[in-house]
A and B are shown apart, each in its own frame.
Chain A
Amino acid sequence: MRPEDIAQRVLTVGLAASVLLFALGLGSYLAAGYGDFPAKVLLMATTVLVATPFLTITAVIAAHVARREFYNAAVAIFVFLLMLLSVVLGLKH
């Protein structure tokens, strides 16, 4: 599978899942007020949304490796590591 195709699939699934969860959380808040359930669902929706780009680049790395495009895979792995580094540095600050 081409990296573009796998990236598109991961992004679409991640987006659909997070939008559904956001709608569910917001709907239950409007129906019954802010409680434990809407809070957990909305946090889960945010986490799924934010995790989607990380999952996308992981899938792109796998696609490049499967197609033996090792230079592109190396570049993508480098970006993935930089993303993890910036999260770690940000948490330390």
Chain B
Amino acid sequence: MEPLTLITIMLTLLPIGFLAALVGIGGGTIVVPLLTLVFHVDIKEAIAAGSVTVVATGVTSASRYLKQGLTNVRLGIFLNTSTVLGAIMGALFTLTAPPTVLYFAMSVLLLYVGINQITTSKGEVARIERGSFAKVKGDRLARLLRLSSSYYDKASEREVTYNVTRTPMGLLASVFAGLLSGMLGIGGGVLKVPIMNLVMNVPMKVAVATSKFMIGMTAATAACIYIEAGRVNPLIVAPTVLGISTGAFLGTKVMNRVRADRLKVIFGAVMMYIGYLMLARAIYAATGIELPGCLR
């Protein structure tokens, strides 16, 4: 591979790492098509590089967000029980559901979540200012595992205390998120953030930081398999990791300074974009009609 291509890959992935750290997604959904379509990397090598890249954004962001006191480690590990379980089931039963149906279902879900995040964005700031996250009573399981916590919100310059609630519903939804991510081969951050924020009374910034912590763990298992299978091309992985880690590092510097409502709007927009990509893929697979930006 030409040195100029390596540098171009590095620079191209920098903004993706920034965005992934900002909204709590792994970035694999964007990295894999980018490597195959723009840099003509073999699809199998691109998927393997994508999984290592997701680990890189996860590890980079998690280390920074932990230092900022944003990540809820107990909650992340607790929810990972069901997401990893769901991902294993999803990977084992992929063949039982047609991919077109899965992509269509996922796109509808993402478009819904995207719209929901945007329409509820103003409420997030109001809840922070009124201290509403602390007024909700944490459930028994959350109290037993000490899942409730607090963080300092730099944008609103106040300590935000929150009580985690509806843990059984959060666990169930996480199984579903894991199932879909296992079936579609995506990290699942797109679903983990809204589950924590909309279902479990977790502030958006904590949900983003905790999602990044969880993603690193789940993606590492997939990356292990690709390394063992000899699918990891170190010359592709190196520039992707260096580019995306630098971007993620910069993203973590910015995230806590962004107002929570703006963060939700950015997250919603990213969800809608990924939802559209999946819808375009489903339509292409079912009818052969290629919508603008369709990634086959």
Contact = CB atoms under 8 A, between A and B. Distances in A.
A75 B81 contact: yes
B286 to A, nearest CB: 27
A30 B228 contact: no
B102 interface: no
Given A50-B220, A72-B146, A4 B238 contact: no
B232 interface: yes
Contacts of A23: 242
Contacts of B63: 8, 11-12, 15
Interface residues of B, number: 52
Contact of B223 (A42, A50, A79): A50
Interface in B131-178: 144-146
Interface residues on A, range: 35 or more
B23 interface: no
Interface in B212-262: 213, 216-225, 227-229, 232, 234-235, 237-239, 241-242, 245
Nearest to A16: B63
B73 interface: yes
- Closest 6 pairs between A and B when the two form their complex, measured CB to CB: A42-B234, A11-B63, A90-B225, A8-B66, A53-B220, A82-B84
Interface of A: 3-5, 7-8, 11-12, 14-15, 18-19, 22-23, 25-26, 29-30, 34, 38-39, 42-43, 45-47, 49-54, 56-57, 60, 69, 71-72, 75-76, 78-79, 82-83, 85-87, 89-91, 93
Interface of B: 3, 6, 52, 55-56, 58-60, 62-63, 66-67, 69, 71, 73-74, 77-78, 80-81, 84-85, 87-88, 91-92, 144-146, 213, 216-225, 227-229, 232, 234-235, 237-239, 241-242, 245
